[in-house]
Structure 1
Amino acid sequence: MAAVPMEEEAAPPQPGLIGSLSAVVRNTMRLLLSRLELAALELSELRNHLMQLSVVFALAMLAAWFAIAFGTATLIYLAWAALGWKILLILAVAFAVVAIGLIWYAVGLVKQGKLALHATMAELKADRDALL
Structure 2
Amino acid sequence: MEKSAASQAPGLIASLAGVAKNTIGLLLSRLELASCELAEARNHALRLLAVFALALVAGLFTVTYASVTVVYLAWDALGWKILPIMTAGFLVLAAGLLLYARALLRQGKLSLPATMAELKADRDMLL
Superposition TM-score, scaled by structure 1 size: 0.82
Q: What 5-or-longer segments of structure 1 have no aligned partner?
A: 1-13
- Pairwise CA RMSD of aligned residues? 1.5
| CA distance in 1 between partners of 2:39 and 2:107 (Å) | 21
CA positional deviation for 1:15: 4.5
When you count helix as a share of all residues, which structure comes out higher?
2
Paired with 1:115 and 1:44, the residues of 2 have a C-alpha distance of 10
Aligned to 1:85, the other structure's residue is in SS state: helix
Q: What is the number of equivalent residue pairs in this alignment?
A: 119
Displacement after TM superposition at 1:45 (Å): 1.3
User: Which of these residues, 99, 102, 108, is aligned with residue 104 of structure 1?
Assistant: 99
> In percent, how many aligned pairs have the same letter?
60
- Contact kept, 8 Å, 2:41 with 2:110, in 1: the verdict is yes
Tell me, yes or no, if the aligned pair for 2:45 and 2:110 is still in contact at 8 Å.
Answer: no
- Report the residue type matching 1:33 in the other structure: L
Runs of 4+ in 1 over 4 A off after TM superposition: none
Which of 50, 53, 56 aligns to 2:48? It is 53
Q: Distance in 2 between matches of 1:110 and 1:91?
A: 29
Q: Is residue 44–residue 110 contact of structure 2 (8 Å, CA) maintained in 1?
A: no
Q: TM-score scaled by structure 2?
A: 0.85
